[in-house]
Structure 1
Amino acid sequence: MNPDQNIKNRHSLSPYKLAITRYIRSSLALKGMKYEDLSMALDKKGICMTPENLRSKTHKGMFSADLFAVIVDVLELEDTALQEILKQVKNV
């Protein structure tokens, strides 16, 4: 892939990253959870991630699809996550 296309891709994906970041942060806040709580919930699923690592990934909007799916699972957001994220993207 040429560098120009890479830049275009990043630009096109940025609204999705921002929406995911906002969604995870707001979901944690609405559930009264902190990154430490999320880290412990993931640990119960056998996934060891520090609160600092989760905070960094959230801040950057850099989630692998599998990590995002398990976060949606542990936060019990299966019914609303994708709809809410796409709604935010369309409103940007």
Structure 2
Amino acid sequence: MSAKNAWRQTVARVIKSEMSVRGVKYQDLSQRLAAIDIEQSADNLRNKVNKGIMGADLMLQVLYVLKARPLDAAVLEEILTDLQP
């Protein structure tokens, strides 16, 4: 897996993990974002999260509305290590 794909998979795993912990579905996430004036459809969010491709601003907005746990380098390193063949 290329470094670029590994980082995209890391983004996807972080977001999906935070959604799972809180029992948040994509429609819920869309509504939470709308509450802070960010318009993203559930389908659009699903595509962006699954591909791990989103701007830094949207990623921060998603983590904010999910009230995500602190994210540190150790967590990222663990995910990246898991993705290695």
Please state which band the TM-score falls in when normalised by the shorter chain.
0.7 to 0.9
| Residue equivalent to 2:55 | 64
Distance of aligned partners of 1:24 and 1:11 in 2 relative to their CA distance in 1, 3 Å threshold: same
Cα RMSD after superposing both structures: 1.9
TM-score, with length taken from structure 2 = 0.84
CA distance in 2, matches of 1:81, 1:33: 22
Q: Report how many residues are paired.
A: 83
| Residue equivalent to 2:39 | 48
Q: Secondary structure at the match of 2:70?
A: coil
Unaligned runs of 5+ in 1: 1-9
CA distance in 1, matches of 2:44, 2:20: 18
| Residue equivalent to 1:12 | 3
RCO higher in 1 or 2 (8 Å CA, sep ≥ 6)? 2
Segments ≥4 residues shifted beyond 3 Å: none
Unaligned runs of 5+ in 2: none
Q: Give the percent of matched residue pairs that are identical in Structure 1 and Structure 2.
A: 27
CA deviation vs aligned residue, 1:32-87 (integer Å, no higher than 9, x gap): 11000100000011001000000000111111010001111111125236652343
| Residue equivalent to 2:79 | 88
Q: Secondary structure at the match of 1:76?
A: coil
